[in-house]
A and B are shown apart, each in its own frame.
Chain A
């Protein structure tokens, strides 16, 4: 669990026929291991939106479909610029998120690597497509720059929409920083496209906090790029009439009210969930585990994902000054949910605080569902609707819970 992997080949080395050859933009198709562990990385100072562009520039994406919604609009437009420069084969603006996700599905059915971005109300409008992507085994990547869900109207950061995505059958990775976002986008394609996984992935970040702030990001050279998607490694046929069509079933099972129809649908859903679990073996070496831990031998732990982790780190520093020692668990993958890892990391903790940027406390619920003695889990502090979560708020929550008097000077 969560141990650094020593192997030089972090994931199965790419056997792609195009490895080492150049694309039309003079980039060399490169194995993901080489890109992340051998190539020299240089620092760049840029916004999260620009980081998305930088990742897509080297991701050998075939199609991207865009639609404006704050806070992902800038990233989606920057991908359009990459298209006009020649880095993507197809790019256009769809008419709504529901249509965009359908257009993405069409491109993926046709054999392209597909990337799109959405946020908040857009995620919810697109919702019907996500289980369809998973059920159709389309390894599309959607970058979700999370924001509030209406009503009342909000364009501010809020991670509520992630709770709606939990049972879609997609992989869900939650980036804390711009660096995470860059790494997750590229590594996400590799994991999602493994033949034994081959399901969509939502790479999530907290809107504005990550998309609109500048951060230092270590980037590999731009003249390297991922090997292209190989549609013939898909576990289901690519819809390009290059392999013989089959008569799928004697009678369409959907209209048959019998055990076979129930069983077909149920087993397919089980298979999608099994594919999510199978992604672990590719994800653990690539992300150095599904969680990161610091000082988990302490009695008090902060367990969270996204930028709440960053605020937690600062809160831990403030508490340390007062002699209160707190450990940290950062959850990187929401699906697959690292239940074993979390049980192990929190087994010595007496108090588990889960700070979140949403009203529902969905991450706390997920954690409560997997740890023993779950009265240890304190769902909070919460902020929502775009509020920031100053580290002091986390400090206060912990102190209050411990019965330490907090100065009420605010």
Chain B
């Protein structure tokens, strides 16, 4: 799809919701240099959300949407959880089916879209919480990596089951006292980034969403590598401020603390040689493009 397809039928324009008018008039689809700085410029980049006030997941969602290289050709696959509260607000098609089967859905979807649209790159991006990715869905998460399925898996790691009220999850820290872990969790946080690397992901990043530049770069890297080479995985720390006893305005500080030296979320990246080569090529192309634009500007000036 391209932006030309999003048009308004004049006869029905008056009954179309304002979100749709906005999408037609100001959507950033296809815009050169689209990125996190566009947040706030259009409803399409989640003007409002239905998560808790100050929830870092809402920030993550906005950064991800703004960072998609081709939103007009991207399909999201979600899972049950807090993330499923945001999907109704996003202006890309998205699938919610069951809890934990997101990577199975994405496998079938990506292969089909590749067959049906051999000449168009249709990106499939999985967005799911840590319960869906690591606990109930770990089998399907990993098997899709073993099979080298060409899509990106993004895990919103809030270290617990937030939507059901704060129960222990596999990505919770050891010792944390939560529902279903009344004496504290008694095993370590599952090291999914390392598992992802060993299971065949070509680009793996673990980070918080405190720095939009970093998130944007990681998302773009992951999607470009998934297009050309194979599976990619991103784990974003999006703390559940409600369940860890923080105030609405404290999410950012929590993420900054977690990523400072010695913290659980110091940024990590694993990049396969093949993926590094691709990313270097893309970077060189972008640099050359910028240089050419700069020269053109100088000449015309």
Contacts and interface: CB of A to CB of B under 8 A. Distances in A.
B157 interface: no
Nearest to A135: B97
B89 interface: yes
Given A99-B140, A129-B101, A247-B89, A111 B50 contact: no
Contacts of A106: 77, 95, 104-112
Nearest to A110: B112
A266 interface: no
Nearest to A241: B1
Interface residues of A, number: 45
Nearest to B102: A102
B122 A244 contact: no
A98 B101 contact: yes
Given A63-B108, A109-B95, A240 B122 contact: yes
A108 B111 CA distance: 11
B106 A62 contact: no
A111 B105 contact: no
Contacts of A90: 111-112, 115
Contact of A241 (B72, B115, B147): B72
Interface in A72-111: 89-90, 92, 94-96, 98-100, 102-111
A100 B103 CA distance: 11
A233 B116 CA distance: 16
Interface string B1-31: 1000110000000000101100100000000
Nearest to B16: A246
A99 B88 contact: no
A243 B95 CA distance: 15
A247 B50 contact: no
B224 interface: no
B93 to A, nearest CB: 5
B98 interface: yes
Q: What DSSP secondary structure best describes chain B's contact surface?
A: helix
Contacts of B105: 102-103, 105-106, 109
A239 interface: yes
A71 B113 CA distance: 31
Given A239-B93, A240-B122, A241-B73, A252 B111 contact: no
A296 interface: no
Contact of B85 (A92, A110, A252): A252
B147 A92 contact: yes
Given A90-B112, A99-B139, A252-B50, A132 B73 contact: no
Contact of A245 (B17, B92, B117): B92
B172 interface: no
B238 interface: no
A264 B77 CA distance: 22
A102 B104 contact: yes
Contact of B117 (A96, A102, A136, A240): A240
A289 B91 CA distance: 45
Interface in B70-95: 72-75, 77, 84-85, 87-95
A252 B50 CA distance: 8
- Name which of A107, A132, A254 has the most chain B CB atoms within 10 A of its CB: A107
A132 B98 contact: yes
B147 A244 contact: no
Nearest to B82: A255
Given A109-B95, A136-B97, A240 B17 contact: no
A97 to B, nearest CB: 11
20 contacts: A98-B101, A99-B101, A99-B140, A102-B97, A102-B101, A102-B105, A105-B105, A106-B95, A106-B108, A106-B110, A110-B108, A240-B113, A240-B122, A241-B72, A241-B75, A242-B1, A244-B6, A245-B94, A251-B50, A254-B84
Interface of A: 62-63, 65, 89-90, 92, 94-96, 98-100, 102-112, 114, 128-129, 132, 136, 237, 239-252, 254-255
Give the top 9 A-B pairs by smallest Cβ distance, nearest first. A106-B108, A102-B104, A110-B112, A102-B101, A107-B108, A106-B109, A103-B108, A106-B105, A95-B143
Given A90-B111, A110-B113, A254-B85, 13 more contacts: A89-B112, A90-B115, A98-B101, A99-B143, A102-B104, A105-B108, A109-B108, A109-B112, A239-B109, A241-B93, A245-B90, A247-B17, A251-B88
